[in-house]
């Protein structure tokens, strides 16, 4: 049977790749992805036919994967993080829904999740996602800014912890500043903010700052921006090695049971 694996490979480090995703890649003859995602897979791509396509060619990537799979090749369509979160999985099903390609409907599709950037960032600093949270993409390439702004406003008013994906690019340099202004109208300037860049990779950088001090010019497309809610806290501990460590957590209400 024609098979297409739709795979999230996690933030980058192969130690964070799930066993199910690794096995699917091993079973595949063809891998379709943006070049960087294939590079991060290292030796796992050996012996595979790799189909690299640039950023901005997402539709072509998904079509290519469906065509390869429907031709009988066991194919993996790959994205970093979780392929179902602001990634390629939704495009595969949108193509199935809107294109008249009966052969695509004969493909056995399996979606294999990966660890998302917000989960990786949260794990580095403690437990900022300990209570209700949401994820919002600041890219207005596919979604009108008016819609994005409304979602930010509602999330701010609802006091959600918010993870911003696609926060800044060379052509989009003002959206994060606008989001900051909306959030400052709804929560304290001292609210913790986590910046996670190149998560789990050699050049990983984690910064803990505040909403008031957040500088959008220090953020790029490789950065995950996480804004705490009004109750999120920063604490410090000193492990046995004597090196002080900052942690961020969002209380869920257990303190009432601890009294």
Residue with tokens 């002080």: 244
Quick one: average pLDDT of 110-124? Answer: 97
Taking residues 25-38, report their average pLDDT.
Answer: 96
pLDDT of residue 171: 83
Burial label for 221, CB within 10 Å (0-12, 13-18, 19+), is: middle
235 domain residue, yes or no: yes
**With bands split at pLDDT 50, 70 and 90, how would you rate the model's confidence at 140?**
very high
Residues 14 and 108 in one domain: yes
Whether 62 and 154 map to the same domain: the answer is: no
| Distance from C-alpha of 186 to C-alpha of 155, rounded to nearest angstrom | 10
Render pLDDT for 154-209 as a digit per residue (tens, 0 to 9).
999 999 999 999 999 888 889 999 999 999 999 999 999 999 999 999 999 999 99
CATH number at residue 13: 3.40.1010.10
115, 133, 165 - which closes a domain: 115
8 Å CB contact between 162 and 180: no
Residues 129 and 242 in one domain: yes
Please check whether residues 153 and 109 belong to one and the same domain.
Answer: no
Whether residue 254 is predicted with pLDDT greater than 70 in this model: the reply is no
Q: How many CA atoms lie within 13 A of 250 on its CB side?
A: 22
User: Is 70 exceeded by the pLDDT of residue 86?
Assistant: yes
- Determine the pLDDT at residue 189: 97
Element (H, E) at 191: none
Which pLDDT value is given to residue 239? 74
Which among 49, 83, 115 is the end of a domain? 115
- State the pLDDT at residue 136: 98
Residue 229 belongs to some domain of the structure: yes
Q: What is the mean pLDDT of the chain?
A: 94
- Residue position matching structure tokens 């469906």: 66
Q: Are residues 149 and 138 in the same domain?
A: yes
CA dist 173 and 169 (Å) reads 6
Tell me the average pLDDT across 234-254: 85
Residue 38 within any structural domain of the chain: yes
**CA–CA gap between residue 139 and residue 217 (Å, rounded):** 16
In a 3-state reduction of DSSP, which class is residue 82? coil
Q: Is the dihedral of CA 10, 16, 21, 26 positive or negative?
A: positive
Q: What confidence category does residue 255 fall into, taking pLDDT thresholds of 50, 70 and 90? A: low
What does the pLDDT read at residue 258?
Answer: 58
What is residue 103's DSSP assignment?
Answer: G
Which structural domain range is residue 59 located in? 3-115
CA pair distance 70, 35, nearest whole angstrom: 23
Same-domain check for residues 99 and 123: no
């Amino acid at each position: 049977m024609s098979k297409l694996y739709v795979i999230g490979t996690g933030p980058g480090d192969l130690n964070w790749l799930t066993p199910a995703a690794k096995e699917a890649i091993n079973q595949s003859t063809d891998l379709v992805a943006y070049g960087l995602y294939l590079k991060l897979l290292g030796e796992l791509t050996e012996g595979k036919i790799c189909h690299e396509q640039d950023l901005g060619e997402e539709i072509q990537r998904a079509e290519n994967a469906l065509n390869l799979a429907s031709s009988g090749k066991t194919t993996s369509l790959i994205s970093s993080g979780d392929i179902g979160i602001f990634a390629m999985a939704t495009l595969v099903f949108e193509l199935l829904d809107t294109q008249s390609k009966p052969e695509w409907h004969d493909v056995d599709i399996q979606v294999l999740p990966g660890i998302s950037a917000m989960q990786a960032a949260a794990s580095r600093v403690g437990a900022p996602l300990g209570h209700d949270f949401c994820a919002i993409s600041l890219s207005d390439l596919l979604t009108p800014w008016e819609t994005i702004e409304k979602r930010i406003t509602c999330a701010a008013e609802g006091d959600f912890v918010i993870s911003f994906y696609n926060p800044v690019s060379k052509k989009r340099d003002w959206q994060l500043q606008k989001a900051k202004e909306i959030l400052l109208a709804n929560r304290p300037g001292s609210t913790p903010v986590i910046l996670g860049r190149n998560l789990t990779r050699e050049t990983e950088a984690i910064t803990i700052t505040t909403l008031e001090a957040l500088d959008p010019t220090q953020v790029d497309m490789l950065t995950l921006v996480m804004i705490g809610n009004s109750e999120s806290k920063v604490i410090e501990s000193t492990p046995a090695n004597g090196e002080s460590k900052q942690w961020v957590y969002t209380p869920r209400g257990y303190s009432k049971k601890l009294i």
